[in-house]
Chain A
Amino acid sequence: MKSKQTLFEAIDWGIFSIGGILAAFLLPANIVVTLLLQQPIPRGPLATLPALSKLYLFILLVGVAWHAMHRIRFVLFGFGLSRYRRGVTAAAMVALALIIVFALEVISSL
C-alpha cells in the first residue's frame, strides 16, 4: 500500500538518478562543444537523423534540469525550508514544467 507521497518522491528520485548519470558522463563534453567551441547546433553524422539528435538534446537537458531541481529542492529543505515542503515542491515542479515546455519548443523546431 503505497502512499502518494512515497510514490512521488520515488519517481522524482528515479529520474534524478538517471539525470545524474547523464550529467556526469555527457555534460562536460556538451559544455566544451556548445559554449567553448561555439558549436551549439548538432552537425555530426548522427545529426543527419534529426530525430536522434533532438532526442539526445531533450533527454540530456531535461534529465540534467530534473537532477538539478531535485538537488536544489533538497538543499532548500536542508536549510530549514522543509517546513514549507508542499510549497517548495510545487514551485520546483512548476519550474521544471516550464523548462520542459521551453525545451520541447526550442528542440522540436531545430
Chain B
Amino acid sequence: MIEPLHNFPVQKDLVVDIGDFMEKLARVKPWIISERERALEEGEYLQKPEELEKYEQFSACINCMLCYAACPVFAGDREFIGPAAAALGYRYNLDSRDEGANERLDLLTRDAGAFDCTFVGECSTVCPKNVDPALALQRLKIDGALTSLKSLMRRGK
C-alpha cells in the first residue's frame, strides 16, 4: 500500500510537511563548536582514523525521515526530538574536533529529548544507512545520566 510518511502533517496526496524535522536537525547545533576561532595559519583540524571511526556511522544519515515515520513515541508526541536529530547531535559530540558536547548533551536531554525515547528500536530497523539512531539515543541517555551524577557530586563538595 502506498501512503504518505507516517507521523507528518499531510499537505496533499503523498506530500508531507517536513518543516518540523528540518527545525529539529538545526536545533542540535550540527556543526563544530570551538572555544575560540582558529586562525587560518593554524591549518586544518587533524583527525586520526580511529577518531573518525567513533562517529562515522552516525554521520551516514541521509535525512530520509523513515525513522520518524517508524517511531511510536514521535507518533504520540510531535515535540519529541526524534532519532535523526539525536543521532546527528550525537555525531558531533563524538567528533574529536568538537568542543560543544556538554552544551549539546544538555539540549538533547531536556523535556522531549533523548529521555523520552522508550527504546522501541524501530528507527534503527528501518534506517537504510545503518546509522543506528536507537544506539545514539541510548548512549545519550547514559551520557546524560553520568554527567548529571558528576554535577551532583560536584555540588555536594
Contact between chain A and chain B defined by CB under 8 Å:
yes
A residues in contact (CB < 8 Å) with B = 1-3, 5-7, 9-14, 17, 71, 74-75, 77-80, 82, 85
Which stretch in B48-56, B90-98, B108-116 binds the other chain?
B108-116
Interface string of B3-27 (1 = CB under 8 A from A): 0000000000000000000000000
Q: Are B111 and A78 in contact (CB under 8 A)?
A: no
Q: Which residues of B contact A78 (CB under 8 A)?
A: 72-73, 75-77, 118
Instruction: Give chain A's interface secondary structure class.
Output: helix
CB of B32 closer than 8 Å to a CB of A: no
B35–chain A nearest beta-carbon distance, Å: 15
Q: Which residues of A contact B118 (CB under 8 A)?
A: 71, 74-75, 78
In the bound assembly, the distance between CA atoms of A10 and B147 in angstroms comes to 9
Q: Which residues of B contact A1 (CB under 8 A)?
A: 102, 106
In the bound assembly, the distance between CA atoms of A31 and B25 in angstroms comes to 46
Q: Are A9 and B115 in contact (CB under 8 A)?
A: yes
The answer, among A3, A10, A79, A80, for a CB contact under 8 Å with B115, is A10
Q: Are B148 and A85 in contact (CB under 8 A)?
A: no
The answer, among A10, A80, A85, for a CB contact under 8 Å with B144, is A10
Q: Are A5 and B72 in contact (CB under 8 A)?
A: no
Q: Which residues of A contact B64 (CB under 8 A)?
A: none
Known: A78-B73, A78-B76, A85-B111. A6 touches B116 (CB 8 A): no
Most buried by B among A14, A71, A80: A14
Known: A10-B148, A14-B149. A77 touches B116 (CB 8 A): yes
Q: Are B149 and A6 in contact (CB under 8 A)?
A: no
Closest Cβ neighbor of A7 among chain B residues: B148
Closest Cβ neighbor of A76 among chain B residues: B76
